[in-house]
Structures are given as C-alpha cells and as structure tokens.
Amino acid sequence: MSLRFALFILIVTFLMGGLMENTFISRIAIILLATITLAWLWQRQALQHILYTRKITYPNGFPGDKTDITISVKNDKWLPLSWLRLIDHWPNEIKPENKAEISGYRYSEENRLTNIFTLRWYEKINRKFNIEFKKRGIYQIGPVEVESGDFLGLFSKTTSLPIQDTITVYPALLPMDQIQWDTDDPFGEKSTHHNLFSDPNLVSGIRSYQPGDRFRTIHWPATARKGTLQVKTFQPVTAKSIMIMLNSSTTEHAWMGYSSDMLEYAIQVSASLAYYAIQAGYAVGLCSNGYLTRSDQPFFLSPGNTQAQLIQILTYLAMVTAYTNVNFEKYLIRSSPKIPYGTNLVIVSAMHSERLSRTLMHLNTYRKGIIFYNLTNDNVEIPGIRQTHLPLEKHNLEVQNGE
C-alpha cells in the first residue's frame, strides 16, 4: 500500500466526517491515520541493527564429508519484530540434507534457504543445518536478503547484507594401491638412502679432470692457469622432490570439447599423488595449463613438503576448471626451466597424442626422472619414459566392485 494514497483517503474521510458533523467517522479516521503512521515508522526502523552471522564448523572437506552450519540473527534494538524473513543464497552442491529447508528454481545453479523469525527486543536466535559436500569445487554462500515490516503487514522493507562465506570441497583421494604409487622408490632408481643430483647452476669449485667427465664441465680459465684439465664441481641437490604437471585438456583440440569425467579423474589422481608423496616426505609442486576459478591464467606452485603446501595443492585442485587456451605440450616446455633441477616430473594426462610423446622424449634429454600417468584407454610406449597406465574404465569397474 502507498503511504501517500492511504493518508489521502484518511484525510478525505476525516474532512467528510467534519462536514457531516459525524464524530464517529472522524475518530475512526484519526485512529487509522495514527495506526498507519505508526506502522510506517515501524517498518522504517525494522531493519536497523539486525546482526546476522554464519558459523561453519568445517569449511573444508572432501566429497561425502558432512559439516554443520549455524546461522544466528539478533535484533539488537528495543523495537520488537513481528516477522523477519532471511533469504540465503546457497549453491546446489552444498545444500542442506533436509530438502524441505531449501527451495530453488528447477534449472538454477543456486538455491535459497529461507528462514522466518519473530524477535523480541535484543533477542538472538540460532538455527543449525547439516550439509553434505557433494562435488569438488569452491563455493560461495551468500549474500543474504533481509526483509521485515510493521506489525500489521501493511509495509515492508528489503535490504541485502554482503555476508559471504567460502566452502572448499577438495578432490576425492584414491587408494594408494589404485594409483600404483611406491612411496619408497616411485621412480625405480634409488640405490642409496639419499639420491643426489648436481645442479649445473650452482658451481661449488673445481678439480682435476677424470675420465668420464663431460666436456662442457671443463673450466677453461683454471685449465689455462694450471696447465692441466680442470672441471667444475656443482652443489648436490636432493632428488626427493616431484612436480605434478596436470593436463586439464581431455581432447587433443579445444574445439573437440572435453570430458568432465576424465578431467575429474585426472584431478583425483593428481590430488592422491600429492597427498601420499607429502606424507612420505617428498617435496611436491603442482602446475597445470588449466585455469583456476575466477582466473584466466595457468598456475604454478613450487615444490614444498609441509602440510600447508598440501592444503594449498588440494585447494588449487579444487579450483581447477576445464577452461584453457594453453597447449599442454607448449606449457611443459615453457614451465620446465622454472622447476628446480633434480626435481622429478610426474605428468598426469587424460589425453595422449604423438605430439605429447615427442615432448616427453624431448624433456627426458635434460630432465632426470619422468613418470607419465596415462589415464587414457590406450597403453602407449614412449622410449625412455616410465609409464603408469590407469584407464578410467578400470577405475570405474573397481569402484563398482567396491575395491
């Protein structure tokens, strides 16, 4: 109802009562005028000092995990509220278990959690909801729409509170035996307890030439001074470091589209490799040609072996999308110089091509230790490259059999 229209009607009624010398009509008009004015002033103050919060017990988890979300609303003023409606925007993937608590459009990616309260002055009410994580991703809850009005329901007022919370659902982890990962010697080349390489970028000194030394390690100025061949020595670096390189492309060409099942499987394999490797003491890094949510660039995370590093890797994998315009083979070549020398490469791809094979063989000429996790149905042979074949069909069969 329009306030101006209501006031106009009541003033006309009051004047008619005066002209007709009917005090009853005039009194009714005055009472209604006072009531409507009070109701209008009530709704003007209804949304003042409304405090709303959400408390998420566990904002991070894996598919299948459950958590509680407690919403609290407080009427922090002397004016009571006969009704207060809160409409919270929730993604489909993390909606409450009780479907009666939430509503949404059939083809919408978003649901609405509606709560209606009656609040006395300075009263606070808490409500708890149980939710189950359904699908990998980063999800935003909020904002919240707040609506209230007067005690007669004549007027209402709506506002939006920019209160948002984030829930992170990590990729599902696969059993260690399913991904065929040997934490003691994944690259099959350990001969001592500590496997060391030399970094050609870190020169530590010189020594006399010995048979078998490479020609390019000869230090010519020192050779000229001493009159005998001298070679450079380099600082050793540990080999217990891996870089997981994820191919987010599931087809050879972007115009061919992508397979969401293959991409999710590749992400799960990458997450499982990172988890088991860090638990075994490896320093693990992650990079991919895929774009993260709300980003338009590939990402690169240098190796680390802390639990914080593992959380960062899982978070990145939760955010990986299928969108990219970066060729994976070119990305491998371009990213390789940024990877510390001595770091082993773990290539995870749900797509294989002759171009990828040539790229891996090229990398193998100057990078020691490469494992190719081939997730396609074709078991290919790439000279010099150790391959682990984990086709998606076999994974689906094991899941169905409960293995």
Q: Which range (2-6, 71-75, 374-378) has the least confidence?
A: 2-6
pLDDT tens digits, residue range 166-219?
999 999 999 888 887 765 556 554 444 444 445 565 566 788 887 777 777 888
pLDDT tens digits, residue range 310-361?
999 999 999 998 888 888 889 999 998 888 877 889 999 988 888 989 998 8
Full-model pTM: 0.74
Task: Please report which confidence band the pLDDT of residue 22 belongs to, taking 50, 70 and 90 as the band edges.
Answer: low
Q: How far apart are CA 124 and CA 51, in angstroms?
A: 9
pLDDT exceeds cutoff 60 at 52: yes
Question: In degrees, to the nearest 5, what angle opens at C-alpha 284 toward C-alphas 282 and 286?
Answer: 165
pLDDT at 232: 82
- DSSP letter string over 229-272? -EEEEEEEEES-EEEEEEE---SSSGGG---HHHHHHHHHHHHH
Q: Which domains does the chain have, with CATH numbers?
A: 50-169 (2.60.40.10), 200-237 (no CATH), 241-400 (3.40.50)
Q: How far apart are CA 229 and CA 218, in angstroms?
A: 7
Q: Which residue has the higher pLDDT, 10 or 65?
A: 65
pLDDT tens digits, residue range 109-153?
567 788 888 889 899 999 888 888 889 999 988 889 988 887 777
